[in-house]
Homo-oligomer: A and B are copies of this chain.
């Protein structure tokens, strides 16, 4: 079943069928109808390889998913799914690349014209893949913001503003000493952009408001969380506000605080940076800045499509954070 079969069936030329399908030139309504009917009757589906060869477009984009220590898989998958969904909305499929494939993988899928463009998740401040991406003739979009963005296209939640918003919220509630329970140490060690920017915003806001702040990197294991919380509240008994930027640590953190005989939010206020579903499933529901995975993924795809259409999108797109007050943050308790 080829395009010429459809053409014969509809009594037109192959190019007309092609143009009906691509919409790249105007077709009389009557012809268009006949062609579409023939396609339908014959069940025609164009050959992807032939298309890619002739048009120099594969209609596939590559997505590099992060699978390294410290990455919270469900959140990563939310991004991936929203990329796939948005790509499908725009007639593109998604080729899955793992981190492990490294830069060779990027060169391979671009060099063989398997894909039209590349989306890279979990970008580090000084990401080793960036020189490779720059060297490719294929467009790419980064989810995450590296140190040097010249000539790149990046999109992410504005984590600095998110860190600020959390600190500001606690400050406004009267807290005078606050702490950030962060990502696992490995995430900071490899200098992942989002983690670093959150810390920076949190510290800056606290500093500007003249309140005390501390940052505690934290592994996800419940015992590690308990140790971190216990250590923190032991060393800094004045801390009454906690920001948690570590999805799997959220529940253990609440447990640990209670295990110390403190109530949330009566004794300790907690603000999370996490997807809405994890913030609303706890008890009490958490005041949180949501992680808009769907929006970020969708935006990454539109930015990539813009580049494919030779529009010059902005280098950095930061989505503003939205802090939703729920039940886990309240005014600082009166001093004992």
The 8 Å CB contact of A96, one of B47, B96, B100, is B96
10 closest A-B pairs (Cβ-Cβ)? A49-B52, A45-B111, A49-B53, A48-B112, A73-B74, A48-B114, A96-B96, A49-B49, A94-B96, A50-B53
Q: A148 an interface residue at 8 Å Cβ cutoff?
A: no
The 8 Å CB contact of A113, one of B49, B96, B113, is B49
**Copies of this protein, total:** 2
The 8 Å CB contact of A74, one of B45, B74, B100, is B74
- A96 and B77 contact, CB distance less than 8 A: no
Q: A222 an interface residue at 8 Å Cβ cutoff?
A: yes
- B98 and A95 contact, CB distance less than 8 A: no
Q: A88 an interface residue at 8 Å Cβ cutoff?
A: yes
- A94 and B95 contact, CB distance less than 8 A: yes
Q: A221 an interface residue at 8 Å Cβ cutoff?
A: yes
Q: A51 an interface residue at 8 Å Cβ cutoff?
A: yes
User: How far does the alpha carbon of A27 sit from the alpha carbon of B63 in the complex, in Å?
Assistant: 37
Task: Tell me what chain A mostly uses at the interface: helix, strand, loop, or mixed.
Answer: helix
Give chain A interface residues in 263-308, CB to chain B under 8 Å.
281, 283
Q: A210 an interface residue at 8 Å Cβ cutoff?
A: no
- A63 and B96 contact, CB distance less than 8 A: yes
Q: A310 an interface residue at 8 Å Cβ cutoff?
A: no
Chain B residues with CB below 8 A from A81, complex form: 67, 98
Chain B: minimal CB distance from A121 (Å): 13
User: How far does the alpha carbon of A73 sit from the alpha carbon of B247 in the complex, in Å?
Assistant: 14
User: How far does the alpha carbon of A255 sit from the alpha carbon of B53 in the complex, in Å?
Assistant: 59
User: How far does the alpha carbon of A223 sit from the alpha carbon of B303 in the complex, in Å?
Assistant: 41
- B47 and A113 contact, CB distance less than 8 A: yes
Chain B: minimal CB distance from A209 (Å): 35
Cβ proximity bits A206-231 to B, threshold 8 Å, 1 near / 0 not: 00000000000000011100000000
Chain B residues with CB below 8 A from A60, complex form: 95, 114
Q: A80 an interface residue at 8 Å Cβ cutoff?
A: yes
Chain B: minimal CB distance from A32 (Å): 21
Chain B CB count within 10 A is highest, among A93, A97, A111, for A93
- A109 and B96 contact, CB distance less than 8 A: no
- B221 and A281 contact, CB distance less than 8 A: yes
- B67 and A73 contact, CB distance less than 8 A: no
List, sorted by A's number, 23 A–B pairs whose CB atoms are closer than 8 Å: A45-B107, A45-B108, A45-B111, A45-B112, A47-B53, A48-B112, A48-B114, A49-B50, A49-B51, A49-B52, A49-B58, A52-B52, A53-B53, A60-B95, A60-B114, A80-B96, A81-B98, A84-B97, A85-B100, A93-B96, A93-B109, A95-B95, A96-B96
Give chain A interface residues in 111-161, CB to chain B under 8 Å.
111-114
Q: A101 an interface residue at 8 Å Cβ cutoff?
A: yes
User: How far does the alpha carbon of A48 sit from the alpha carbon of B63 in the complex, in Å?
Assistant: 18
Q: Of all chain B residues, which has the CB nearest A83? A: B96
Chain B CB count within 10 A is highest, among A53, A67, A97, A109, for A53
